[in-house]
Amino acid sequence: MGFNNAAQGASPAVGTRGITSDIVFSLMSSGKYASAFLALKDIVKNGADSPVYISVNFNLALCYIKAGEFKDSLPCLEKALTLVKKIRNRQDYSAGKKTAYTELRIKEIAESSCLEPMPEEYPLLFTGNAEEDIIITLIGIYRKCNLEGKAAGLLASLAGPEFSDFKETNDQTIRSLS
């Protein structure tokens, strides 16, 4: 059980076979995406709308992405985004100026580190960052599926100096495809 869930009294996401989302995160972190995929599909059957299912849906989307099934990843990413927006309590870390936080997020975004498995506690502790990671991933998948209008809409929702390079690059690409 994740430490934040214990503190809040919430249970981890569990599938019908008793496999938790924490176990799935460990499988994904060690590169065992096939086993993680089966476990995540089992967990998703419960269909809960609790915040612990943010990482479940995001990680299931990553499995589809790893398999090259981009269109199948979209419902998972969209569900994760819907769930994270329900608990969003974003703080303005940057306050319009470059800070250490802003510089670190620029580096993470440039390195596409948002395509890493998401631990269950992450969206509960860092809701704003989790939402941004899901949006960045969705933009990339929308573009791979030739859904440029949806990509442009999400691109416009990213605010803050840490996204200026990301937005400029993606905005130019979207405009050139239109």
Which pLDDT score, from 0 to 100, does residue 112 have?
A: 64
Which pLDDT score, from 0 to 100, does residue 71 have?
A: 96
Show the domain range for 101: 3-177
Which pLDDT score, from 0 to 100, does residue 65 have?
A: 94
Mean pLDDT by 10 residues, the chain (178 residues): 36 62 85 90 78 88 94 95 79 53 69 76 84 89 90 85 76 58
Which pLDDT score, from 0 to 100, does residue 9 have?
A: 43
How many structural domains does the chain have? 1
Inter-axis angle of helices 164-177 and 148-157, nearest 10: 160
Number of H-type helices and E-type strands within the chain: 10, 0
Which pLDDT score, from 0 to 100, does residue 123 have?
A: 86
